[in-house]
C-alpha cells in the first residue's frame, strides 16, 4: 500500500481544501427552486478559480458529464446534475473531487432542502456519525477493516442499512486506488494502517434495505426499495498524531 511523503500530503491537503470550498459553495446554493445543474456550474467556477482540475469530469464509461454528483432522495450516489429542481423536503447528497498538482481530493455530504421529515434528518445525522466513527479507527497500528466495522455498527444500531456494492478507497495520484474500504466488516481485519496512508471513507446508508439499482443513464445508483439514502465522505491521512481530515475546511 502507498504511503505518502510529507510533500505529497501537502499537495493532497491543497486538493482537499479545493473540495471543501466546492462543498461550501454547494451548501450555500442548495435551496428549493435551484437546479442541480446550477450547483455543478458553481463548483466548476471554484475549480477554475483555484487552478484545479476535476477528477469527476469524463471519468469512466459512459464518460461522466459533470464535476460533481448530485443524488436526491432515493438516489444513493452518482446522480448527474442537470435540470432537476430541488424541492422543500428533499435530501441532497453532493459529492465533489479536485486534482491539485496531480494529487486528488474526494468528499461528499448530504443536506436537508428546507424543512425535512424527522426520519430524513435522522438518516443524515446517523450517516455523518458513521463516517466519524470510521475516521476514529484510522490510527497507526489498527487494521483497515475496523473502519467499516465501526461505520456498520453506527448505521445498523440506528435501524438503517449500509450499501455493499459501492465502497471507499485509497486515494493519491488517482482518485480510486487499491485497497477498497468497505463500509461493513468483510470477514477479515485487512492490512495494518501505517502513517502516510490516505483513504476516502464514504458510508452510503439507506433508510430501508441495502440493495441498489443503476438507472438507464449508466451512472445514477438508487435504492432498490425506493427508500431515502445519505452519503458522507472525507479524504483522510493516517498520521502519527491520529487521523488528519484533508477535506475539512
Closer to Mg ion by Cβ: residue 90 or 202: 202
Write a three-state SS string for 94-115: EEEEEEECCEEEEEEEEEECCC
What is the smallest separation between the CB atom of 53 and Mg ion, expressed in angstroms? 15
What is the smallest separation between the CB atom of 233 and Mg ion, expressed in angstroms? 5
Residue 27: all three cell numbers together: 451548501
**Contact between 109 and 185 (Cβ < 8 Å):** no
What is the smallest separation between the CB atom of 205 and Mg ion, expressed in angstroms? 15
Closer to Mg ion by Cβ: residue 89 or 132: 132
Beta bridge partners of 161: 206
Closer to Mg ion by Cβ: residue 21 or 202: 202
Closer to Mg ion by Cβ: residue 33 or 102: 102
What is the smallest separation between the CB atom of 202 and Mg ion, expressed in angstroms? 5
Asked if 128 is part of the footprint of Mg ion (rule: CB under 5 A), the reply reads: no
d(CA 119, CA 101): 42
Cis peptide leading into residue 157 (ω within 30°):
no
In the DSSP assignment, the letter for residue 232 is -
Residue list 86-105, contact with Mg ion (CB under 5 A): 95
What is the smallest separation between the CB atom of 77 and Mg ion, expressed in angstroms? 8
Asked if 106 is part of the footprint of Mg ion (rule: CB under 5 A), the reply reads: yes
Closer to Mg ion by Cβ: residue 108 or 197: 108
Closer to Mg ion by Cβ: residue 21 or 95: 95
Residue list 175-234, contact with Mg ion (CB under 5 A): 200, 202, 233
Torsions phi, psi for 153 (to 5 deg): -60, -50
d(CA 21, CA 27): 10
In the DSSP assignment, the letter for residue 47 is H
Number of residues interacting with Mg ion: please give it, by CB under 5 A. 6
What is the smallest separation between the CB atom of 114 and Mg ion, expressed in angstroms? 25
d(CA 58, CA 52): 15
Residue 31: all three cell numbers together: 435551496
Torsions phi, psi for 35 (to 5 deg): -90, 155
Asked if 78 is part of the footprint of Mg ion (rule: CB under 5 A), the reply reads: no
Question: Which residues are near Mg ion by CB under 5 A?
Answer: 95, 106, 108, 200, 202, 233
Amino acid at each position: 500500500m502507498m504511503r505518502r511523503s510529507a510533500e505529497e500530503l501537502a499537495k493532497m491537503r491543497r486538493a482537499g481544501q479545493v473540495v471543501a470550498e466546492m462543498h461550501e459553495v454547494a451548501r450555500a446554493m442548495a435551496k428549493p427552486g435551484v437546479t442541480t445543474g446550477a450547483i455543478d456550474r458553481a463548483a466548476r467556477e471554484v475549480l477554475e478559480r483555484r487552478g484545479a482540475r476535476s477528477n469527476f469530469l469524463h471519468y469512466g464509461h459512459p464518460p461522466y458529464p459533470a464535476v460533481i454528483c448530485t443524488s436526491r432522495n432515493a438516489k444513493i450516489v452518482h446522480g448527474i446534475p442537470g435540470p432537476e429542481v430541488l424541492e422543500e423536503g428533499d435530501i441532497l447528497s453532493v459529492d465533489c473531487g479536485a486534482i491539485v498538482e496531480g494529487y486528488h481530493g474526494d468528499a461528499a455530504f448530504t443536506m436537508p432542502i428546507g424543512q425535512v421529515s424527522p426520519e430524513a434528518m435522522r438518516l443524515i445525522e446517523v450517516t455523518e456519525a458513521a463516517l466519524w466513527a470510521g475516521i476514529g479507527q484510522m490510527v497507526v497500528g489498527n487494521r483497515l477493516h475496523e473502519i467499516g466495522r465501526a461505520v456498520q455498527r453506527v448505521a445498523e444500531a440506528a435501524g438503517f442499512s449500509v450499501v455493499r456494492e459501492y465502497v471507499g478507497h485509497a486515494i493519491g495520484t488517482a482518485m480510486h486506488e487499491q485497497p477498497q474500504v468497505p463500509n461493513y466488516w468483510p470477514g477479515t481485519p485487512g492490512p495494518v494502517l501505517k502513517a502516510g496512508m490516505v483513504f476516502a471513507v464514504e458510508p452510503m446508508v439507506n433508510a430501508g434495505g441495502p440493495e441498489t439499482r443503476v438507472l438507464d443513464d449508466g451512472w445514477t445508483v438508487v435504492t432498490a426499495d425506493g427508500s431515502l439514502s445519505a452519503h458522507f465522505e472525507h479524504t483522510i491521512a493516517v498520521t502519527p498524531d491520529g487521523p488528519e481530515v484533508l477535506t475539512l475546511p
